[in-house]
Chains A and B, each alone.
Chain A
Amino acid sequence: MAADYSPYSFIVVLFLCALAFALLPLGLALLWGRLFSPGKPGPQKNAIYECGLESKGDAWIPFRAEYYLYGILFLVFDVEIVFLLPFAVAFSGLPTGAIIAMLIFVLLLVEGLAWAWAKGILDWR
């Protein structure tokens, strides 16, 4: 037997097999398409799919900067409800450290709310 036999060489063999397994069907499909079925692109076929309607405008439209304020408010209340509910459920069994940590967390969120309030975002317009 050859002395330079590497116990890891089979990994290379497996890798090549895996590669062939993936590439062979792709190659066959390409060959099939080349042989038999002609490609038929067209302006409508290549158009953006919008449930059959013609698309208008661009997808890269700017959002109004005000939207970010609503984003922040949503985040405040969303995160608050996610954490407050388990906090309330487990409240009586919590150690003091956990309660203080939670209060700090709520304080951070309330800070955001207070900032939004002071900015006047909560006023109905």
Chain B
Amino acid sequence: MGLGQGHIGLEIIMDEALRNELKRHGILTTTLEDLYNWGRKNSVWPLGFGLACCAIEMIAASMSRWDLARFGAEVFRPSPRQADLMIVAGTVTKKMAPQVVRLYNQMPEPKYVIAMGACAISGGPFKQGYNVLKGIDRYIPVDIHIPGCPPRPEALLHAFMTLQRKIDSQSLLGPERPRHLQAEAPSEFPVPEYGEHDLEPPKNGTLWQPPVLARG
């Protein structure tokens, strides 16, 4: 497994058989990519940021009973400048949505988003409300969705482990590399503003499209 395909001078080819042979003799081999992802996935610092009741479950997950520290993610940062992960924990009202997007924009790359709970992923029980955003994935790219009202801390832990697997599988080079390694991929997303009736724009078209209903 090399660093990637077709990058000048950095390609190191070592086939799996040789790796296993070395491992049998007690020599561990690794790649820069694996080391990089291993370090990243075990130090995901969330933004200390809660919106509603789901935040209480998030806080419980970080305390001793569920102990998010086992995943290297107990350091809830009070500033987006130091955070890697935004846990959107709770109902996103239309008044709060611009602030959420702006906070996301102020986080440095690489950054990830967990949408926690029914409200954050879809509006939840308040979906019919005039003032509730029907899912934060209309404005920012969400990596992990957790259903539940509220999800138990175990569900958040599961989301965390899913996110860790996602980080672990990201490649350092090549066209499949994640957003933060691509120079042309955006780091900021447009912040909605209050319009006459609704948030303007009501969604970020590049991130979210309304589902097409198939009537048969």
Using a CB–CB distance below 8 Å, which chain A residues touch chain B? 36-38, 40, 42-45, 47, 49, 51-54
By a CB distance below 8 angstroms, the chain A residues around B27 are: none
Minimum CB–CB distance for B204 against chain A, Å: 14
Inter-chain contact A38/B99, CB cutoff 8 Å: no
Q: Which residue of A lies closest to B105 (CB)?
A: A44
Which of the candidate stretches B67-75, B118-126, B176-184, B194-202 sits at the interface with the other chain?
A: B176-184
Q: Which residue of B lies closest to A43 (CB)?
A: B188
Inter-chain contact A44/B106, CB cutoff 8 Å: yes
Minimum CB–CB distance for A2 against chain B, Å: 42
Inter-chain contact A53/B182, CB cutoff 8 Å: no
Q: Which residue of A lies closest to B98 (CB)?
A: A52
Q: Other than the known A40-B180, A45-B105, A49-B79, what 6 A-B pairs have Cβ atoms closer than 8 Å?
A: A36-B173, A42-B188, A44-B102, A44-B188, A49-B81, A52-B98
Inter-chain contact A47/B183, CB cutoff 8 Å: no
Q: Does B34 contact A (CB under 8 A)?
A: no
Inter-chain contact A45/B180, CB cutoff 8 Å: no
23 CB contacts below 8 A, A to B, read A36-B173, A37-B180, A40-B109, A40-B183, A40-B186, A42-B105, A42-B188, A43-B188, A44-B105, A44-B106, A44-B188, A45-B105, A45-B106, A45-B108, A45-B187, A49-B79, A49-B80, A49-B81, A49-B106, A51-B99, A51-B103, A52-B99, A53-B99
Inter-chain contact B100/A52, CB cutoff 8 Å: yes
Q: Which residue of A lies closest to B107 (CB)?
A: A45
By a CB distance below 8 angstroms, the chain A residues around B187 are: 40, 42, 45
Q: Does B191 contact A (CB under 8 A)?
A: yes
The 5 A-B pairs with the shortest beta carbon distances in the complex, nearest first, are A52-B99, A40-B187, A38-B183, A44-B105, A42-B188
By a CB distance below 8 angstroms, the chain B residues around A54 are: 102
Q: Does B172 contact A (CB under 8 A)?
A: yes
Minimum CB–CB distance for B127 against chain A, Å: 23
Interface membership of chain B positions 113-140, coded 1 if the CB is closer than 8 angstroms to chain A and 0 otherwise = 0000000000000000000000000000
